[in-house]
Amino acid sequence: MTDSTGRRITANINLTLDGRYNGPGGPGDLGAIVAYATTEVARRHLTRIWESATTALLGRLNAEGFMEYWPSVAGDENADPRDRGYAKWLVDVEKVVLSTTLTEAPWDRTRVVNAPAADVAAELKATGAGDVLVNSSASVIKALLSADLLDRLYLMISPEIAGGGQRLFDDGLPASKWTLTHQETGELGEIALVYDRAR
């Protein structure tokens, strides 16, 4: 999966049909997305995103939310095995958290970096092995799209129009071409998509 030029930088995010990662109520308005997060297609997609990743690159807000929730799932024997698999991966994997306010990492196997996302991603890509996964951190994904540093996009599309909220693909991004390498549609109309950057 990794070529001789180094690691892949991958990103995962859930979007509505109108390209938004939250609704008009702000960052916590996930009603149009959350209803589709535990379907069979979504859970298979969740496994797909981390299987080849050896580093998680996260913004501070996502890191705080994830590390508040997922460690308890890792230890919950009644949780869906796919959720537990992801949770265990997140707890155990190397995490790089981008932050201008944190001075030390409150989680194990984590380092905090106060630097532009593009610089950090480029450095990670040049060292180590396995994919670097930017998981749902929209600000980081946007910065890497702007710098054309993403090699793979994992998208989960909810069949709803939010009508407001923050969009992932802002005007002004550099033009780029992507190759569809996987797609799966669920019973509720949700679609899991994997796109690789065509370079």
Is the model's pLDDT at 98 over the cut of 80? yes
Spatial distance between the Cα atoms of 33 and 37, rounded to a whole number of angstroms: 7
Q: What does the chain come to in residues?
A: 199
Q: What is the pLDDT of residue 130?
A: 95
- Strand ranges (DSSP E) for the chain? 9-16, 53-59, 94-98, 110-113, 131-135, 152-158, 177-185, 191-198
> What's the pLDDT tens digit per position in 29-76?
999 999 999 999 999 999 999 999 999 999 999 999 999 999 999 999
Which residue reads 């984590």 in tokens? 110
> Which pLDDT band holds residue 13 (cuts at 50, 70, 90)?
very high
**CATH fold group of domain 9-198:** Dihydrofolate Reductase, subunit A (3.40.430)
Q: Is the dihedral of CA 136, 137, 142, 147 positive or negative?
A: negative
Domain boundaries, the chain: 9-198
Burial 70-96 (b: 16+ CB within 10 A, else e): bbebbeeeeeeebbbbbbbbbbebbbb
Phi, psi of 178 (to 5 degrees): -130, 145
Give residue 82's identity as a one-letter amino acid code. Answer: R
191, 184 contact by CB (below 8 A): yes
> Which pLDDT band holds residue 103 (cuts at 50, 70, 90)?
confident
Model confidence pTM above 0.85: yes
Average pLDDT over residues 161-177: 97
Is the model's pLDDT at 3 over the cut of 50? no
Is the model's pLDDT at 1 over the cut of 60? no
> What's the pLDDT tens digit per position in 114-165?
999 999 999 999 998 999 999 999 999 999 999 999 999 999 999 999 999 9
Q: What is the pLDDT of residue 2?
A: 41
Is the model's pLDDT at 12 over the cut of 70? yes
